[in-house]
């Protein structure tokens, strides 16, 4: 398999002013994150609000400049490419946002919304050629072709998200970043859009970077999962291992709070104490130690590194699991 997206040691620190005297401080939004997404696979990034998920997506899209690190798309460096070069890369890299209400221009017809990237990337010679492609894209997202003539605000949330997905698919990207792409939708609609993503992935061999705080959703569509806490990936691995035998105490706590469908299966509910610490002043050593029920002395002084476990490709950053690595 080849990697569509590779991220190495990504950091994003935001400079902010704090307190009465407006002293400047750094928010460690993303702090040394590395991962790759293979062609045709879904990697989900999960974690509580503020852990840096969207910042990872935004730096890949060049909506914010990274503080450090390297990002590659199909082997091409993204984070240092000049803006003209970024245009070509953006064709391969598309995004679907959470809120289909604000991300679609209400004054444009569905045809024009979906046609925009086709026109921008010069993907049609004539109007009728573009219309044909728009019609095809509407078929792909299971919207009726007569939707073309209507305005996006005439559609429901789920249908608008389909319009947003059609637009993202238009330039035939290799990867789509979905930032909370189903979070704002009703439960039944959520399931339909999740199924649509799964179908599209099979049909088109797309890769997805699926950013979500909702583990129950992620379990339905992902191949691998990366769990973030305070700007860092603390565990990454296959869906099956992650959901059946999570290693990090934080992942265990996150998973214990999601409902399980199988009534025979048991999950002990672990409740996390306290609030997530400030990313301006993260704890020394392991960032999770202030809330970890199993923390010991070493956790305060030494930051655990992501280490490969014997289970295929599964990595965890936790002192409890050292010595189990290969």
Ligand X SMILES: Nc1ncnc2c1ncn2[C@@H]1O[C@H](COP(=O)(O)OP(=O)(O)OP(=O)(O)O)[C@@H](O)[C@H]1O
| Binding positions for Mg ion, 32-61, rule CB under 5 A | 54
Among 10, 13, 44, 55, binds ligand X (CB under 6 A): 55
- DSSP state, 38? E
The structure tokens listed for 168 are 């993202």
Among 3, 38, 39, 50, binds ligand X (CB under 6 A): 50
Question: Mask 28-47, x = binds ligand X (CB under 6 A)?
Answer: -x-----------------x
Q: How far is the CB of 140 from ligand X (least distance, A)?
A: 28
- Which of 244, 240, 238, 273 lies closest to 256, judged by CA? 244
Nearer CB in complex with ligand X: 11/150:
11
Nearer CB in complex with ligand X: 47/246:
47
The site that binds Mg ion (CB under 5 A) totals a number of residues, namely 1
Q: Kindly give the residue spans of alpha helices, DSSP state H, lying in the chain.
A: 53-60, 83-92, 110-120, 127-140, 157-169, 187-204, 215-221, 239-244, 249-256, 297-301
Among 3, 11, 14, 184, binds ligand X (CB under 6 A): 14
Q: How far is the CB of 180 from ligand X (least distance, A)?
A: 6
Among 27, 217, 225, 233, binds ligand X (CB under 6 A): 27
Asked if residue 59 binds ligand X (CB under 6 A), the reply is no
Q: How far is the CB of 257 from ligand X (least distance, A)?
A: 15
Asked if residue 117 binds ligand X (CB under 6 A), the reply is no
- Largest Cα–Cα distance in the chain? 68
3-state secondary structure of 250: helix
The structure tokens listed for 208 are 């997805």
3-state secondary structure of 157: helix
Integer CA distances (angstroms), 188 to 158, 183, 217, 261, in order: 10, 12, 12, 16
| Binding positions for ligand X, 277-316, rule CB under 6 A | 279
The one of Mg ion, ligand X, none whose footprint includes residue 52, by CB under 5 to 8 A per kind, is: ligand X
Residues 6 or more apart whose Cβ sits within 8 Å of residue 248 = 227, 234, 235, 288, 316, 317, 318, 321
Contacts with Mg ion by CB under 5 A lie at 54
């Amino acid at each position: 398999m080849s990697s569509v997206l590779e991220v190495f040691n990504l950091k994003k620190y935001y400079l902010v002013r704090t307190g009465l005297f407006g002293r400047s401080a750094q928010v460690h939004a993303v702090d040394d994150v590395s991962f790759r997404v293979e062609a045709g696979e879904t990697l989900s990034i999960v974690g509580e609000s503020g852990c840096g998920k969207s910042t990872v997506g935004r730096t890949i899209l060049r909506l914010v400049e990274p503080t450090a690190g390297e990002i590659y798309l199909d082997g091409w460096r993204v984070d240092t490419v000049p803006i003209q070069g970024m245009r070509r890369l953006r064709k391969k890299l598309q995004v679907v946002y959470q809120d289909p209400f604000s991300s679609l221009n209400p004054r444009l017809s569905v045809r024009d919304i979906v046609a925009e990237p086709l026109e921008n990337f010069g993907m049609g010679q004539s109007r009728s050629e573009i219309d044909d492609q728009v019609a095809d894209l509407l078929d792909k997202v299971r919207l009726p072709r007569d939707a073309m003539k209507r305005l996006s605000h005439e559609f429901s949330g789920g249908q608008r998200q389909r319009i947003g997905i059609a637009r993202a698919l238009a330039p035939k990207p290799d990867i789509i970043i979905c930032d909370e792409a189903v979070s704002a939708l009703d439960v039944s609609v959520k399931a339909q859009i999740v199924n649509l993503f799964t179908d599209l992935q099979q049909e088109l061999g797309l890769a997805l970077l699926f950013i979500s705080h909702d583990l129950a959703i992620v379990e339905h569509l992902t191949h691998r999962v990366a769990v973030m806490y305070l700007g860092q990936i603390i565990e990454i691995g296959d869906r099956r291992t992650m959901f059946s035998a999570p290693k990090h105490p934080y992942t265990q706590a996150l998973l214990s709070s999601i409902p399980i469908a199988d009534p025979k299966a048991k999950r002990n509910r672990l409740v996390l104490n306290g609030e997530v610490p400030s990313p301006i002043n993260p704890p020394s050593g392991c960032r999770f130690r202030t809330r970890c029920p199993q923390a010991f002395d070493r956790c305060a002084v030494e930051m655990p590194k992501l280490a490969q476990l014997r289970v295929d490709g599964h990595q965890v950053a936790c002192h409890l699991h050292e010595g189990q690595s290969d």
